[in-house]
């Protein structure tokens, strides 16, 4: 005498060599599913014949807790997450995912999502994305000049433009004990000359802090000029900003932060006169003191004559 062929649970399996009286079978669930019910059954005798003494179990998918959003980012919400469900991550303005998008995670068989993606601050910008015209920079007055061509928005100038006073500020930077090199390009439009100055300023994110000028120029070249400015270590969170003054048409492009150390190049103000090496605030102060000392010595020499 033998029992009926056992019911195989959905998302599971049955193991057993035969189904005769006194034989046993074992149930199991596939990876990513947990068993609800008996793990096995025995072929037993009752008043009507032989039968299995337990029903086939139910294999339920593993449940995952709601995924944690990344720092400075978010993840799609849901009421319930089960095995093989997938979620997509995104970052707040001014941050971008370290991994290539779209960034997703899948509910795993152990009930976890794996590692949480990382959102890192955006310091680089080539101004090519029409949906984020200034990348991670907070913009006041700079404009991405574009037009719709064959149904697609296309920029008709390289970089980003300022027609009047404009400021563009980075996300928080630091604290850090390492130096970094910030590079960018700028120029004046060939047919609109009226710029007064462009400066790169640094300000600590603390109450009543003052700005420091890292670089500045009142000369606007007609061709692209690349500038390299060393960002010295900062003890507190700080932000830098590109500040333009004037009524002309100034262009800025290809901002890039190299965190590997100081700039190998020297930032030089473009001018036909003797080039002036642009110092950081501390360096500029030392330069002014040195110049003042030289002037005093010169006056002393004249008095002796």
Q: Is the pLDDT confidence value at 32 over 70?
A: yes
Mean pLDDT across 164-180: 94
> What is the pLDDT at residue 197?
87
Q: Which of 34-48, 77-91, 143-157, 267-281 has the lowest mean pLDDT?
A: 267-281
The verdict on residue 5 lying in a domain is no
CATH number for 155: 2.60.120.200
Does residue 259 share a domain with residue 210?
A: yes
Average pLDDT of the chain, as a whole number: 83
Measured at the CA of 140, the angle between CA 238 and CA 240, to 5 degrees, comes to 20
> What is the pLDDT at residue 143?
86
What is the span of the domain harbouring residue 67? 63-121
Does residue 167 share a domain with residue 75?
A: no
Contact 147, 130 (CB under 8 A): no
Point out which residues pair with 154 in neighbouring strands: 147
Does residue 220 share a domain with residue 184?
A: yes
CATH number for 48: 2.10.70.10
pLDDT band at 281 (very low <50, low <70, confident <90, very high): very low
Q: What is the DSSP string of 206-275?
A: STT--EEEEEEES---SS-EEEEEEE--BSS-EEEEEEEEESS-EEEEEEEEETTSS-SS--B---SSS-
Contact 229, 200 (CB under 8 A): yes
Q: What whole-number distance in Å separates Cα of residue 89 and Cα of residue 68?
A: 10
Q: What whole-number distance in Å separates Cα of residue 32 and Cα of residue 34?
A: 7
Nearest alpha-carbon partner for 24 in 43, 5, 11, 51: 43
The verdict on residue 243 lying in a domain is yes
Provide φ and ψ at 144, rounded to 5°: -90, 110
pLDDT band at 154 (very low <50, low <70, confident <90, very high): low
Does residue 157 share a domain with residue 245?
A: yes
The verdict on residue 6 lying in a domain is no
Q: What whole-number distance in Å separates Cα of residue 270 and Cα of residue 196?
A: 14
pLDDT band at 266 (very low <50, low <70, confident <90, very high): low
pLDDT band at 206 (very low <50, low <70, confident <90, very high): very high
| Cβ neighbours for 1, distance < 8 A, ≥ 6 positions apart | 20, 21, 49, 50
> What is the pLDDT at residue 15?
95
pLDDT digits (tens, 9 = 90+) for 81-129: 999 999 999 999 999 999 998 999 999 999 999 999 999 999 999 988 8
Contact 213, 155 (CB under 8 A): no
> What is the pLDDT at residue 78?
78
Mean pLDDT across 15-44: 96
Does residue 155 share a domain with residue 22?
A: no
Q: Which residue has the higher pLDDT, 157 or 42?
A: 42
Contact 51, 3 (CB under 8 A): yes
Percent of the chain with pLDDT over 70: 80
Does residue 264 share a domain with residue 198?
A: yes
| Cβ neighbours for 291, distance < 8 A, ≥ 6 positions apart | none
How many structural domains comprise the chain? 3
Q: What whole-number distance in Å separates Cα of residue 34 and Cα of residue 155?
A: 55
The verdict on residue 244 lying in a domain is yes
> What is the pLDDT at residue 194?
60
Q: Which of 46-50, 201-205, 289-293 has the lowest mean pLDDT?
A: 289-293
Q: Is the pLDDT confidence value at 13 over 90?
A: yes
Contact 243, 170 (CB under 8 A): no
pLDDT digits (tens, 9 = 90+) for 216-256: 988 888 888 999 999 999 999 999 999 999 877 788 999 99
The verdict on residue 167 lying in a domain is yes
């Amino acid at each position: 005498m033998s029992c009926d062929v056992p019911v195989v649970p959905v998302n599971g399996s049955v193991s057993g060599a035969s189904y005769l009286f006194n034989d046993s079978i074992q149930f199991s669930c596939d990876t990513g599913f947990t068993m609800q019910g008996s793990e096995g059954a025995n072929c037993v005798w009752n008043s009507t014949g032989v039968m299995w003494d337990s029903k086939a179990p139910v294999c339920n998918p593993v449940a995952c807790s709601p995924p944690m959003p990344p720092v400075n980012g978010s993840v799609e919400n849901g009421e319930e997450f089960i095995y093989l469900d997938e979620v997509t991550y995104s970052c707040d303005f001014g941050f971008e995912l370290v991994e290539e998008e779209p960034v997703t995670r899948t509910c795993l068989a152990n009930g976890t999502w794996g590692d949480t993606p990382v959102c890192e601050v955006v310091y680089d910008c080539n101004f090519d994305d029409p949906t984020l015209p200034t990348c991670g920079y907070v913009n006041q007055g700079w404009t991405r000049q574009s037009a719709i061509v064959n149904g697609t928005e296309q920029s008709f100038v390289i970089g980003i433009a300022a027609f009047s006073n404009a400021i563009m500020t980075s996300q928080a930077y630091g604290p850090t004990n390492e130096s970094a090199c910030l590079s960018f390009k700028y120029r004046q439009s060939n047919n609109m000359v009226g710029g007064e100055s462009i400066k790169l300023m640094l300000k600590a994110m603390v109450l009543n802090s003052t700005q420091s000028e890292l670089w500045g120029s009142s000369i606007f070249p007609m061709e692209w000029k690349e500038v390299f400015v060393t960002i010295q270590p900062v003890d507190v969170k700080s932000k830098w900003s590109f500040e333009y003054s004037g009524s002309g048409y100034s262009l800025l492009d290809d901002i890039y932060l190299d965190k590997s150390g100081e700039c190998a190049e020297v930032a030089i103000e473009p001018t036909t006169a003797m080039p002036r090496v642009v110092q950081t605030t501390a360096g500029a102060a030392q330069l002014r003191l040195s110049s003042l000392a030289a002037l005093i010595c010169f006056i002393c020499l004249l008095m002796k004559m």
